[in-house]
Structure 1
Amino acid sequence: MSLRTRLLLTSGALLPTLLSAQVLPSNPQPAPAQSAPSSSAGGGGGGSQQKKSSLLGDALPFMDIGGENVAWDGKVWNVTNNRMFQARLEKYLASPEANTPDDQAYRDVLEQITKLLSPGHNGGNPSLPQAVALLPEAAGYKIDAKLCDSLANAIYGVWLAQKNVSNLRQTNTAMSERVRGETFQARHSTATGSASGAGPRPTGGGNNQQAAQSQTLQTFATAKYIATIAELEARMKANELAMGTSQLTAKAEFQALIIQFALQRRFEHVVLACRFYRHIFSDPSGILSLKEGSDAEKMFASTLGTSPTISGLDAFANEAIRDVDEAVQAFDNLVERGDLASGSKRISEAFMVGEYLPRVRRVPMPKKLMVLDFTRDYNQLISAMEMKDYTLAEQLVTKLMKLAKDFDYSKPKAMIETARTVSDMHLNKAKVSAMQGDQKGSTEALTEATMIWPTNPKLREFTNMIGSNADVKTQAALDLDRLISQRNFRQIYNDQGRYLAAVMDDPQRQESLKKVLTDMGRVNFSIAAATNLAQSSNLAGAWETMEKTYTEFPDDPEVSRLRSDFSIKATEFVGALQKAKQHEDRRQTGSALAWYLKAKTQYPPSEFAREGINRQVGKLSATDLGANP
């Protein structure tokens, strides 16, 4: 199976986690989020245009192999550079390697099952019962997540279906024998009636009446035999239909389980399920029964040109395992060379494709911690660049250059130098304007310098110089205006005594300061409430409290930090709400309601979940009223 198919299936399994991408900004100003161009809703040409621009349309994700991007639902996501994937990757990097005796015993059981199903086992005599008997043992290990138990249940379901078919076949054989007997009786009854009516007709009235009665009884018996035969044949046809349906249903359910394993990236289980399929079903073609016109059928038809087969999925799983092994081997070599930038990409790719494969799980802990340190510093660099903290960004660039020999520092260094130069130019302009007595020009230039580089050390030197040569009250008022323009309300709150004294004679600034202090009081109250909830292990409640505060105060750094920390710690609850919102935006009311209910199960007092449930129930009620006025 091709690399495109492997990445398509992998991206389809990871799409629910791609919720918010984080990239290094290309300029000091924040850039709008990139989105895929949407096709026109009207006109006949819209459909053809969509087919040309997307391999699979909007129903399934399209993987850009070169850029590691996935186009889906009208948006473009980066597979390895988003918050949810980074959270899963960080959890993996911070976990010890799976090199315990239990892990090795689990791999040995899977290997033993594969050998028992091999065509060359015991001189060409594979042992299906022994292989099935080992599935519950494999399911007992934590890493298996009871998937072998699901496979064993699927096999048991197939055996029940086959047993049902055998019983129906025996029933049809018995009914066929009875049909032959009833047919013989019907023919015998007809022949007897014909023989009794073939002789000369009696002349007496009594004899005529007796002959008529005899003829009526014979006709009634013949009709009864015919009715019995018809009923038996109808039951036989129904049994034949039930046998065919039972076999097709069992095969479809087993094939669905194999595809499910593939989408879950459980490639070892894909191989096992494909081998079991060959032994259980007498299906030489092995073609998967996909619904014609479905998204899955379109995906395989577009990538393979034909319907997938069991052998194809088996080969796909083995190829994925080999590809992951090579990626981990490349990671080991890169780390030995000190190329942590490339090494972090290789281990991310291997983790994305084969998160549960043994080669990935057994990466040594020291190497994973090296990548973890590099990725954390790199993510902090991205945040520093977004917040225009170029002082910290410069320190991180220097640190990353020492950690990784292959770190590409050209882009962040260029941005830092550009910001420093432009900010210094505006500061020099502000100094000249201040010396000339142009307070307005000096303030405007100072504001421009602050917008470009808020943490510029020279900016503080300039403000100190102004403070030493100007009235303290006027300087405080200017600082207040500057901080309000920067939306740096926390700094105002921390130095509120200074600014309260500076605006005593300025009603307009008094109102602005009063609003800032009131808002920051609410923010601090929310932070304290969220912190208490987190200390009580109520991480979902802590995140929801911060999310509400972030909606109103997105520029507060403490709110942003706590919101990010709690979102990582309450990943399942946050993910459920985000998936529910996605389904709600696409008007998939049932799916949205299910995810909101899941979120409420994880955190019953959740207002987000309750409001979402009420919205979906309202939509369903409105739909029912529209259908039944």
Structure 2
Amino acid sequence: MLKICASISLCLALAAGSASGQGYVPGSSPQAQAGMSVPTGGMFESQTFLNMANRAFDPSSDSMDFENGSFAWKGRTFNLTSQRAFRARFERFLLASPRKEGAHYEQLLEDLLERLSVGSNRSEEAILETWEMLFRAARFEEDGGNSTIVANQVFNAWRIRKEMRGTSMTQSELGDMRRFQQEVVANRSLIRQQLQQRQQDEAERASGTGGQNKATSQGEALPSEAAFRVLDLAETEAKLLAMEGQAALTGMQAKLQMQSQIVAFLVQRRYQHVLLLSGFYQLLFKGSQQQLEVGKGQLKSFFPNANMVFTVDMMAFVANEALNDLNQGVRAVNAAYAEDRAIIALERLQETFFLGEYMPALNAIPVEQRRTLLDLYRDMLEAVELAEAKDYDGVAEMAERISLAAKDFPKSRVLSSVRTAKSMSDMAVFAASQYRNLGQVDQAREELKQAIDIWPSNPSIREFQLETTKLATAGSQGVQVFDDLYQRGDHRGIYDRRMDLGFALAEDGVRRPLLMKVVEQVSTIDLLVAQGAEALKQGDAYVAWELLAEAAKFGPDDAPMNRARAELAPRVADFVVCLDRAERRVEQAQYAGALAAYLAAQDIYPASRMCREGIERVSAALMASLRAAKQPRK
């Protein structure tokens, strides 16, 4: 559409306004006015408002980094998963109502932890009773079956310990057998040596061959029996080594299983179950078995800047610290909400929720408070979406709505940014209009794109498009309209259609100068009429008449000018009569009478410019006629 609009001077569009505001300057040229600079909105950074909106409307806490999927807490990092998943869980929590069973469940867990503490009864009966209480805790919905996992881990450790006791008995029996076999082998070796010595002695005394063969056969039988006994001993040794390795492997397996589950509970933020399983672990294993052998990769990401040896005690310490922070966070949320600091309450609640999503302490958040924060949370998310869509009217409406629910919401900053963005978009549309009027299509398109980027729903953009369409449509009919008006001498009609005709005749080398001349003449008439009206307001009727008389020189048939003269004539009738008489005398070459009429008019209005110029002109003509009369006729 912009390609249809060709170049035209800016003075055609603003001639009337420029003349009225600055005064008529005959020497000013259209080329000088066309060279003026065009305001632009290009300096506006399109992301400025969006960045502000993200800071103002983002309900997430600063400790949450959804881009990297992490949650920072006291130098430790949790996996935050996706923002959508977190939002779903958080909204589900705000929609849920606290259960009455939650207090009973929390009390039961506290009793379990108390029974596992160092100063409690650690007899087998007490430990077994504590273990059975885990199944009571597992019946609560809040537990999620995690207490059953703890109970199964403890039961598995007990079963492995029982198996290890049976293995120890078998190892003892094999040890007795090994000692017996060692004695047998040792005795067999001694007997063999004694027999060999005896046979050697008998061989020396004997002199027959048969005796030698018999001794040899008996000597060969003894080594075979000794070798058999040695094999039995080696087999027993192998069984003992295998059972010792199996016992060590079984014990290590139980320890690793419990350690893995402790790390899993910590990563899942099940702090109370971390403490429960850690308590049972310390009862089942020696103090030298407290170092963690598994989960080091997960713990390295959890403690990114720590270079330490991870132990079960450390996991229990972190869990206790998290529980303390969780309780403090709940109290902070309730306090901020009570003081009408809903934004702070919402941010702290998100931190507390993610830190202890499964902890019973969150039941201390009342239902009414949850619903109010849910509405605020949804409104802020909607405001962010409106800001991303650059719907500034919607953003302003949401800012007003949020400020009613949250006294600590920065409404003024948001509304100020909205006004700034709208103003910059309007400036870009205005710059596009200026470039369009100057025929600079590429610049106009760029400014219009800038305006759309800043504020897509700006009403001025629609007006710009309609105006451009109108101008383009009028351009195709402009030549015929101009010719008709110019032939009729309707300069005022041409001036009223100067914008449309300017686009239509932009490339017409013949008609365009005529159009600019007509526009300049009518602009001058309007300027003089306006100055005359101002002089009349100040009581200078004669000055007003002279201004209108000057305007008549540019367009004697101009209707607004003639109407103004007709209205003013009765007030300056004597002055006008003298001027008319003087002009008639001049036409009749009666310069003396004309001079007398001008002098009479000057007596009425001594400061008259028309009288002064008329007197000078008529005096010169009168003197010329007198000199001509004195010359002799030939």
Instruction: Please indicate the TM-score interval, normalised by the length of the shorter structure.
Output: 0.5 to 0.7
- CA, structure 1 residues 134+405, in 2 after alignment: closer, same or farther (shift >3 Å)? same
Aligned residue for 2:423?
421
Deviations 1:395-433 (A, max 9, x none): 111112221111123553343122111122233345567
Give the 3-state SS of the residue equivalent to 1:137 in structure 2.
helix
| Pair 1:239 & 2:243 matched | yes
Give the 3-state SS of the residue equivalent to 1:201 in structure 2.
helix
- CA, structure 1 residues 179+450, in 2 after alignment: closer, same or farther (shift >3 Å)? closer
For residues 27 and 283 of structure 1, what CA distance do their matches in structure 2 show?
59
- CA, structure 1 residues 67+174, in 2 after alignment: closer, same or farther (shift >3 Å)? closer
Deviations 1:277-333 (A, max 9, x none): 011112346211148xx6346457754432122111111111101101111100001
For residues 151 and 438 of structure 1, what CA distance do their matches in structure 2 show?
77
Aligned residue for 1:6?
none
Aligned residue for 1:179?
178
Aligned residue for 1:266?
270
Q: Is the 8 A contact 1:391 1:456 kept in 2?
A: no
| Pair 1:27 & 2:48 matched | yes
For residues 201 and 414 of structure 1, what CA distance do their matches in structure 2 show?
126
Q: Is the 8 A contact 2:103 2:360 kept in 1?
A: no
Aligned residue for 2:281?
277
Q: Pick which of 294-303 and 451-460 moved more.
A: 294-303
For residues 470 and 368 of structure 1, what CA distance do their matches in structure 2 show?
59
Aligned residue for 1:372?
374
Q: Is the 8 A contact 1:290 1:297 kept in 2?
A: no
Aligned residue for 1:69?
65
1:216 to 198, 215, 220: 220
Deviations 1:46-100 (A, max 9, x none): xxxxxxxxxxxxxxxxxxx9754378599x9996993332222112112222x32
- CA, structure 1 residues 81+370, in 2 after alignment: closer, same or farther (shift >3 Å)? farther
How many Å apart are 1:30 and its aligned residue? 9.0
The one-letter code matched in structure 1 to 2:65 is: N
Q: Is the 8 A contact 2:392 2:455 kept in 1?
A: yes
Aligned residue for 1:190?
189
For residues 251 and 81 of structure 1, what CA distance do their matches in structure 2 show?
34
- CA, structure 1 residues 85+235, in 2 after alignment: closer, same or farther (shift >3 Å)? same
Aligned residue for 2:330?
328
Alignment of 1:402-441 (within 5 A): 402-409=404-411, 411-429=413-431
Q: Is the 8 A contact 2:396 2:418 kept in 1?
A: yes
Deviations 1:354-383 (A, max 9, x none): 001111134111111111111111111111
Alignment of 1:219-618 (within 5 A): 219-284=223-288, 286-290=290-294, 295-296=297-298, 298-299=300-301, 303-409=305-411, 411-429=413-431, 446-460=448-462
- CA, structure 1 residues 185+440, in 2 after alignment: closer, same or farther (shift >3 Å)? closer
Q: Is the 8 A contact 1:423 1:449 kept in 2?
A: yes
Larger relative contact order (CA 8 Å, sep ≥ 6): 2
The one-letter code matched in structure 2 to 1:378 is: M
Q: Is the 8 A contact 1:80 1:86 kept in 2?
A: no
How many Å apart are 1:225 and its aligned residue? 1.1
- CA, structure 1 residues 440+225, in 2 after alignment: closer, same or farther (shift >3 Å)? closer
Q: Is the 8 A contact 1:423 1:448 kept in 2?
A: yes
The one-letter code matched in structure 1 to 2:279 is: R
Deviations 1:432-491 (A, max 9, x none): 6778899887776555433321222444566667788885999xxxxxxxxxxxxxxxxx
For residues 441 and 195 of structure 1, what CA distance do their matches in structure 2 show?
121
Aligned residue for 2:100?
100
Deviations 1:188-238 (A, max 9, x none): 222222233333214133333333222222222211111111111111111
Give the 3-state SS of the residue equivalent to 1:197 in structure 2.
helix
Aligned residue for 2:483?
none
Q: Let me know the Cα RMSD of the aligned residues.
A: 3.6
How many Å apart are 1:173 and its aligned residue? 0.8
Aligned residue for 2:85?
84
Aligned residue for 2:166?
167
Q: Is the 8 A contact 1:341 1:407 kept in 2?
A: yes
The one-letter code matched in structure 2 to 1:188 is: N
The one-letter code matched in structure 1 to 2:192 is: G
Q: Is the 8 A contact 1:117 1:127 kept in 2?
A: no
For residues 440 and 230 of structure 1, what CA distance do their matches in structure 2 show?
98
Q: Is the 8 A contact 2:185 2:230 kept in 1?
A: yes
The one-letter code matched in structure 2 to 1:241 is: G
For residues 384 and 78 of structure 1, what CA distance do their matches in structure 2 show?
29
How many Å apart are 1:255 and its aligned residue? 0.3
The one-letter code matched in structure 2 to 1:183 is: Q
Q: Is the 8 A contact 1:89 1:348 kept in 2?
A: yes
Q: Pick which of 261-270 and 416-425 moved more.
A: 416-425
Aligned residue for 2:133?
134
The one-letter code matched in structure 2 to 1:88 is: R
Aligned residues: 414
The one-letter code matched in structure 2 to 1:186 is: V
Q: Is the 8 A contact 1:115 1:121 kept in 2?
A: yes
For residues 105 and 180 of structure 1, what CA distance do their matches in structure 2 show?
60
Aligned residue for 1:536?
none
For residues 417 and 462 of structure 1, what CA distance do their matches in structure 2 show?
20
- CA, structure 1 residues 164+321, in 2 after alignment: closer, same or farther (shift >3 Å)? same
Q: Is the 8 A contact 1:290 1:296 kept in 2?
A: no
Q: Is the 8 A contact 2:421 2:455 kept in 1?
A: yes
- CA, structure 1 residues 460+221, in 2 after alignment: closer, same or farther (shift >3 Å)? same
For residues 403 and 474 of structure 2, what CA distance do their matches in structure 1 show?
44
Q: Is the 8 A contact 2:274 2:315 kept in 1?
A: yes
- CA, structure 1 residues 394+80, in 2 after alignment: closer, same or farther (shift >3 Å)? farther
For residues 193 and 81 of structure 2, what CA distance do their matches in structure 1 show?
88
- CA, structure 1 residues 221+177, in 2 after alignment: closer, same or farther (shift >3 Å)? same
For residues 360 and 243 of structure 1, what CA distance do their matches in structure 2 show?
45
For residues 240 and 361 of structure 2, what CA distance do their matches in structure 1 show?
55
Structure 2: which 5+ residue stretches go unaligned?
Answer: 1-45, 55-60, 73-77, 477-634
Q: Pick which of 450-459 and 77-86 moved more.
A: 77-86
- CA, structure 1 residues 115+194, in 2 after alignment: closer, same or farther (shift >3 Å)? same
Aligned residue for 1:541?
none
Alignment of 1:142-161 (within 5 A): 142-161=141-160
Q: Is the 8 A contact 1:433 1:441 kept in 2?
A: yes
How many Å apart are 1:120 and its aligned residue? 2.7
- CA, structure 1 residues 208+347, in 2 after alignment: closer, same or farther (shift >3 Å)? same
For residues 188 and 446 of structure 1, what CA distance do their matches in structure 2 show?
111
Q: Is the 8 A contact 1:287 1:310 kept in 2?
A: yes
Q: Pick which of 305-314 and 105-114 moved more.
A: 105-114
- CA, structure 1 residues 72+27, in 2 after alignment: closer, same or farther (shift >3 Å)? closer
How many Å apart are 1:384 and its aligned residue? 1.0
The one-letter code matched in structure 1 to 2:88 is: A
Normalized against structure 1, the TM-score is what? 0.59
* Structure of larger gyration radius: 2
- CA, structure 1 residues 318+395, in 2 after alignment: closer, same or farther (shift >3 Å)? same
Aligned residue for 1:553?
none
For residues 366 and 29 of structure 1, what CA distance do their matches in structure 2 show?
32
Aligned residue for 1:113?
112
How many Å apart are 1:338 and its aligned residue? 0.9
How many Å apart are 1:154 and its aligned residue? 1.6
For residues 463 and 211 of structure 1, what CA distance do their matches in structure 2 show?
129
For residues 370 and 157 of structure 2, what CA distance do their matches in structure 1 show?
43
